[in-house]
Amino acid sequence: MAVAQRIAAVNAEGRAALIVYLPAGYPDMDTSQACIEAAVEGGADLIEVGLPYSDPLMDGPIIQAANQVAMGHGYTPADDLAMCGRLTAAIDVPAVAMTYYNIAWHYDGVDQLEAFADACAEAGLAGTILPDLPADEGVTWCKVSAAHGLETVFLTSPSSSDERIAGVVEASTGFVYATSTMGVTGVRQSLSERARPLVDRIRPLTDKPVCVGIGVTLPEHAEEIAGFADGVIVGSAVVKAAGEGGPEAVKEYVAGLAEGVRRAARA
């Protein structure tokens, strides 16, 4: 199922989509799959599966540490995608890969980007998010993704110029990722006030879904964002739950977020 389609379907129910990030291989490969399935049971509408990378510039300490644990097991990106293949067969919501460009660029094959796109599609993933690939460096990746039926998601930031936002909107097919704050992923107690103005700047340019992530931690955050965005993305807080309490804790945490999303009054 396509990402944009799924978000539109959820929005048609009168609420925003809940998007949950969890890394492959953390705390180990089987448990990561169980955690993601638990997130879906808890109410996630869309999954971002992290493929761990040694130097995750856009991630804060919780996700970086989880990536380090996963990499410490010796899992390769192919192992991660093999898990994604089993995962997508078991869940009925779309999943996308979230990783860094160097991982895509080194996937085993004659043409690595082609091979990576092929492997993602083979694993049943709907698309990718590569946070260190700005839209203007991503022309090749967009072409390769399109050829493999993969959706692309690029990031906008409160600091993006109108011109850059227009470029990101153009290049994104799954949804437009609005980062709520200046900063990297991580658990935060209060929500940045910069998310809404950013979403307001994106809206006039496109009908594509706009989802907000980075620093979204509590059900109240999810509720607030669900009032003005098409989707709410939560990562570090769920990863923390996975590390501390496994699938049960993930399910419980995500259920709280899902309630928050459902409480929101849609603008």
Partner 1 sequence: MTTLDAPHDTQFGRFGGQYVPEALMGALDELTASFGEAMADPAFLTEMNGLRATYGGRPTALYRADRLTEHAGGATIYLKREDLAHTGSHKLCNVLGQGLLAKRMGKPRLIAETGAGQHGVATATIAALLGLECVVYMGEEDCRRQRLNVVRMRLMGATVVPVTSGTRTLKDAINEAMRDWVTNVDDTHYLIGSVMGPHPFPTMVRDFVKVIGEEIKGQMLEVEGALPDAVVACVGGGSNAMGAFYEFIEDPGVRLVGVEAAGHGVDSGRHCATISGGTEGILHGARTIVLQDEFGQVQPTHSISAGLDYPGIGAEHAWLADTGRAEYLAATDTEALEGFKLLCELEGIIPALEPAHAVVPALRLAREMGEDATVVINLSGRGDKDVDEVARVLEMTSLDGAEAPPAGGA
Name the site residues for partner 1 (rule: CB under 8 A): 53-58, 60-61, 64, 68, 71, 76-77, 100-103, 105-108, 111-114, 131-140, 154-161, 164, 168, 179, 182-184
Name which of 130, 243, 230 is nearest 187 in CA terms.
243
- Whether the CB-CB separation of 24 and 70 falls below 8 Å is answered with yes
Residue 76 or residue 206: which is nearer to partner 1 going by CB?
A: 76
The length of the chain in residues reads 267
Residue 216 or residue 258: which is nearer to partner 1 going by CB?
A: 216
Compute the radius of gyration of the chain from its Cα atoms. Answer: 17
Q: Please, what is the minimum distance in Å from the beta carbon of residue 68 to partner 1?
A: 8
| 59 given a catalytic annotation | yes
Residue 40 or residue 191: which is nearer to partner 1 going by CB?
A: 191
Identity of the residue numbered 264: A
Cα separations in angstroms, 31 against 19, 22, 108: 19, 11, 26
Name which of 93, 213, 96, 81 is nearest 152 in CA terms.
96
Out of 13, 37, 45, 48, pick the active-site residue.
48
Q: Please, what is the minimum distance in Å from the beta carbon of residue 21 to partner 1?
A: 15
Out of 59, 151, 223, 224, pick the active-site residue.
59
Residue 158 or residue 245: which is nearer to partner 1 going by CB?
A: 158
Q: Which residues contact 193 (CB under 8 A, 6 or more apart)?
A: none
Paired sense of beta strands 95-98 and 231-234, if any: unpaired
Q: Please, what is the minimum distance in Å from the beta carbon of residue 157 to partner 1?
A: 4
Q: Which residues contact 221 (CB under 8 A, 6 or more apart)?
A: 191, 215, 232, 260
Q: Please, what is the minimum distance in Å from the beta carbon of residue 163 to partner 1?
A: 9
- For 252-265, the three-class secondary structure string (H helix, E strand, C coil) is HHHHHHHHHHHHCC
- Bridge partners of residue 48, in order along the sequence: 21, 96
Residue 132 or residue 259: which is nearer to partner 1 going by CB?
A: 132
Name which of 258, 194, 253 is nearest 231 in CA terms.
258
| 244 given a catalytic annotation | no
The set of catalytic residues is: 48, 59
